[in-house]
Amino acid sequence: MHEMSLAEGIREIVDEAVRTQRLGRVRTVVVEIGELSSVEPEALAFCFDEVMRGGPAEGARMEVVGVAGSGLCLQCHQTVAMHRLYDACPACGGYQLQPRDGMEMRVKEIEVE
4-63 pLDDT, tens digit per residue, is 999 999 999 999 999 999 999 999 999 999 999 999 999 999 999 999 999 999 999 999
d(CA 38, CA 42): 12
pTM, two decimals, is 0.87
Number of H helices, E strands in the chain: 2, 6
- Under CATH, what is the fold of the domain 3-112? hypothetical protein PF0899 fold (3.30.2320)
Q: Residues 64-107: pLDDT tens digits? A: 999 999 999 999 999 999 999 999 999 999 999 999 999 999 99
